[in-house]
Amino acid sequence: MIASLRARLDALEARVNDALPGPVKVGFLTLYLFSTASADRFDALASRPAWDRWADAGVATLLTLQVGGMALVAGAARQALGRTRATALNDPVNTVALPGVNEFMPLAAAPYVVAGLVVATVVHEAGHALVCRRANVAVTEWGVALLFGVLPLAAYVLPDETIDDASVRTKLRMYAVGAFHNVVVAVVALAVLASPLSAGSPLSAYLTYFGWALTGGSPPTAATVASLGVLTNLAFWLALLNANFALLNALPVSVFDGGRVLALALRASADRFGVPLSPLAESAVVHGASLLAVALVVVAVLGPALPV
């Protein structure tokens, strides 16, 4: 029965997509704006040799983030277990980047949150696409997924099957550079926040949105958001969301960039030092790291509610 229903829904989705104009398609609760065209200017940009060094810096950055991110999540999990009662920081609803639902994202901040999500997803996927084109791997489709047709859920890049034959180094660069781009945007946004151009400092902006959860106060109102000014709000959410994108993707979870980089790094290290590494051993390490990372995130969010 479930299989039959799924088949009917898939058939309905296919009929709807056939009727839609070329750059638009739909999925479950999601609207996709996409293209299969390759831009000559983008290919010309990707042809520059400097991207190789840039992407190598991305690999080093992601591996550093992976270690630092695991330490950060472990520390957050330990703190959460030490709390006797749950706070807004431990409410699962507040892990969803949906203004008006997440208490740390009032509706007044929606334009800045959406802008931050768009920039974070686009620069991330643009990095993947650049490395693909640099390695002469075609991009068959690229686009943006919009939840409910409005909220940016993700950008995506689909390389063709030649990526499977690419070198380990090329794959490392491709998976790592997206998070590296998020780090670069976050650093630039923080620099703007700390500059005279901003109406507030990084700390004051953080306290405006999150301080109330630490002091027992109330969530920010439209007036408090407006008092920060457009540039400060925009820079704050660009910094926060890009930093979160980078840390999340760097975690050694098998379906994330970090998990793929970990698997490739293990394989490359084993080959370099002549250490035998079976597919089973590689899978055990990567999936073990995935389970640990996910468990720590769950504890960090739900710690006070767990029966320990």
Place of tokens 């909220």: 151
Q: Is residue 6 part of a domain?
A: no
Rounded mean pLDDT of 122-138?
Answer: 90
Which of 244, 95, 237 has the alpha carbon at shortest distance from 179?
244
Domain that holds residue 47: 24-305
Q: Is residue 15 part of a domain?
A: no
Q: Is residue 9 part of a domain?
A: no
Q: Is residue 278 part of a domain?
A: yes
Q: What is the enclosing helix (H) or strand (E) of 174?
A: helix 168-193
CA-to-CA dists, residue 152 to 30, 32, 98, 271, angstroms: 10, 10, 10, 40
**pLDDT tens figures, 151-180:** 666 677 788 888 888 899 999 999 999 999
Rounded mean pLDDT of 178-206?
Answer: 93
Structural domain count, the chain? 1
- Look at residue 303 in the predicted model and tell me its pLDDT: 74
**pLDDT tens figures, 215-263:** 878 899 999 999 999 999 999 999 999 999 999 999 999 989 999 999 9
Q: Is residue 121 part of a domain?
A: yes
Q: Is residue 227 part of a domain?
A: yes
**pLDDT tens figures, 63-88:** 999 999 999 999 999 988 877 777 78
239 CB-side CA count, 13 A:
19
Q: What is the enclosing helix (H) or strand (E) of 27?
A: strand 24-27
Q: Is residue 73 part of a domain?
A: yes
Q: Is residue 12 part of a domain?
A: no
